[in-house]
Amino acid sequence: MKKEAKLTEQQLDPAYLKDKQAKPDADTVRPDEKRNSLVARLRKGNRAAAAELVDEYHEQIYLFMRKLGHDRQTSEDLTQESFFNAWHHIGQLRDGKALDSWLYSIAANVSRLYWRKHKHKELVGIEHGDWPAGGSGHNEDIGRYEQLEQLRAAVAKLPVKLNQAVVLHYFQQMTIAKAAEVAGIKEGTFKSRLNRALRALRKNVT
């Protein structure tokens, strides 16, 4: 009881309240403020910030690589390479709001360079556990699951550039403008690739 009373008195002290106001909880910090802070620390060469960047985005970039048709080991290697490149080129990033698209641009470029060096390799379809959720598991979802499996196989058979267009716009849910920026091409070119990809998918998915 004495400890609780002492804690309550401390919390009512003006100095304590002022300190709490000056140091808001991490949960109350807005996402854009958090990104700006992270970018600022990264630009100063803060290695703790680099570790925070990896913790925050590793799963997203890894799954992005898997959806782009890389196998598990290659996806892990390319994910690490993406963060390595981000760390060494952080000076190019000026605005924390652009952190997500900038990081995806680096990852997309790392993937493109890989396929350019390994033209003989084929895209790999990812396992269902790595794919976006396909339903709640009820009987009526069986048909949807089967369609998802067909789609998964069809996307894996697309040429690399068309595969990337589908992944960026539909699976990463990026706008045409943002997806084109990440892919490093004009919006018109991206739309053309996306239309070609959709035509190919319609032929292979019933």
Q: What is the mean pLDDT of the chain?
A: 79
Please state the domain extents for the chain: 31-120, 131-206
Q: Tell me: pLDDT of 39 over 90.
A: no
Position with higher pLDDT, 156 vs 125: 156
Q: Check if 31-120 and 131-206 are the same fold.
A: no
Position with higher pLDDT, 15 vs 127: 127
CATH fold of the domain at 131-206:
Arc Repressor Mutant, subunit A (1.10.10)
CATH placement of domain 31-120: 1.10.1740.10
Say how far apart CA 182 and CA 107 lie, in whole Å. Answer: 9
Residues 83-95 have a mean pLDDT of 87
User: Residue 150 class from Cβ within 10 Å (0-12 exposed, 13-18 middle, 19+ buried)?
Assistant: middle
Q: Tell me: pLDDT of 155 over 80.
A: yes
> Is 117 within 8 Å of 192 (Cβ atoms)?
no
For residue 53, the model assigns a pLDDT of 92
**Which residue shows structure tokens 């990104």?**
35
Q: Tell me: pLDDT of 71 over 70.
A: yes
The confidence band for 1, taking pLDDT boundaries of 50, 70 and 90, is: very low
For residue 126, the model assigns a pLDDT of 60
Q: Tell me: pLDDT of 138 over 50.
A: no
Name residue 28's amino acid: T
Say how far apart CA 81 and CA 136 lie, in whole Å. Answer: 36
Position with higher pLDDT, 89 vs 79: 79
pTM: 0.71
Q: DSSP label at 186?
A: -
Residues 157-179 have a mean pLDDT of 92
